[in-house]
């Protein structure tokens, strides 16, 4: 995501676009590709001159980054992230952030299952939604600045919700689908079937996100445990109702559920 973000931002011709990474080869490649002006393995140097800092790390790593380099940020800097959970991170960062710095949580609804600069693309933001989770201390002009950047890199919609609402909604729209995809594709092992010979579009579509960054998703699911468990309860209840309808030959209920789902899916576009 960091590489994709850099590629998209470079199209806006910023005065300077710097990157921080622990991998020197990645930074060198990014410089050679022309998607950053310069790369650093030590954050202190670019942070002191950066007006906007976009942290493309796992949520807890983003929290540690801000905490570890709290004295290196330029006064007046706007800090944002791209992580998939917000309440814990936003609250914790704001608990120690000095008044001259501002953290605005961000979550672009875009990405790829595969990691690394070689899979980066500026086009992943095209048509996507970008969620921001501002809090009371955030200045309106700074929120609008990040929203404008999101639209300029291709996002179709920018949405504002509070951090708690973000985590509740994202548990259903992002976290639950990943759990379902993993469960579905792993079911083929339990049934001891050679599914590859019988796979059509529906199975591939339903399991696309199962090609997953396991370390990241363990962190997301455990950090958003309460909301994930609530959505799993709702999903399990719906599955049980359909299962019971099949057992009882309740064709009307099954048809009604499928028709309702079809209409809702069309509304998504």
For the chain, the structural domain boundaries read: 2-161, 166-268
Give percent above pLDDT 90 in the chain. Answer: 83
pLDDT at 118: 84
> For residue range 22-57, what is the model confidence (pLDDT) as tens digits?
999 999 999 999 999 999 999 999 999 999 999 999
* pLDDT of amino acid 246: 98
- Tokens standing for residue 244: 């019971």
* Angstrom distances, CA of residue 111 to CA of 4, 67, 107, 187: 9, 26, 10, 26
Q: What is the mean pLDDT of residues 214-239?
A: 96
Question: What is the helix (H) or strand (E) element at residue 105, kind and residue range?
Answer: strand 102-108
**Cβ atoms of residues 34 and 10 within 8 Å:** yes
For the four alpha carbons of 25, 26, 30 and 33, in that order, the dihedral sign comes to positive
Q: Reply yes or no on domain 2-161 having CATH 3.40.50.2020.
A: no
Per-residue pLDDT band for 264 (boundaries 50, 70, 90) equals: very high
Cα–Cα distances in angstroms (integers) from residue 182 to residues 175, 233, 267, in the given order = 11, 17, 26
As a whole number of angstroms, the distance between CA 181 and CA 175 comes to 10
Task: Please state, in angstroms and rounded to a whole number, the distance separating the CA atoms of residues 84 and 66.
Answer: 17
Global pTM value: 0.89
Cα–Cα distance between 157 and 128 in angstroms, integer?
7
Name the pLDDT band for 190 (thresholds 50, 70, 90): low
Do the beta carbons of residue 81 and residue 57 sit within 8 Å?
yes
CATH number at 166-268: 1.10.3660.10
């Amino acid at each position: 995501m960091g590489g994709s973000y850099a590629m998209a931002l470079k199209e806006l011709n910023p005065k300077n676009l710097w990157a921080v990474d622990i991998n020197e080869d990645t930074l060198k490649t990014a410089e050679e590709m022309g998607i950053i002006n310069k790369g650093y393995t030590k954050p202190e140097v670019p942070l002191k001159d950066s007006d906007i800092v976009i942290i493309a790390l796992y949520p807890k790593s983003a929290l540690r980054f801000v905490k570890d380099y709290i004295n290196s940020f330029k006064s007046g800097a706007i800090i944002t992230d791209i992580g998939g959970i917000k309440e814990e991170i936003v609250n914790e960062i704001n608990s120690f952030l000095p008044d001259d710095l501002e953290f605005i949580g961000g979550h672009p609804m875009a990405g790829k299952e595969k990691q690394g600069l070689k899979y980066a693309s500026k086009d992943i933001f095209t048509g996507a939604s970008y969620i921001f989770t501002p809090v009371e201390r955030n200045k309106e002009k700074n929120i609008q600045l990040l929203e404008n950047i999101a639209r300029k890199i291709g996002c179709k919609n920018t949405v504002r919700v509070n951090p708690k609402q973000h985590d509740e909604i994202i548990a259903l729209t992002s976290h639950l689908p990943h759990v379902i995809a993993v469960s579905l594709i792993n079911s083929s092992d339990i049934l001891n079937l050679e599914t590859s010979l019988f796979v059509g579009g529906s199975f591939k579509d339903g399991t696309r996100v199962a090609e997953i960054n396991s370390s990241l998703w363990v962190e997301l699911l455990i950090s958003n445990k309460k909301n994930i468990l609530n959505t799993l309860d709702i999903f399990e209840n719906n599955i049980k109702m359909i299962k019971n309808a099949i057992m009882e030959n309740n064709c009307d209920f099954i048809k009604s559920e499928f028709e309702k789902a079809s209409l809702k899916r069309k509304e998504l576009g």
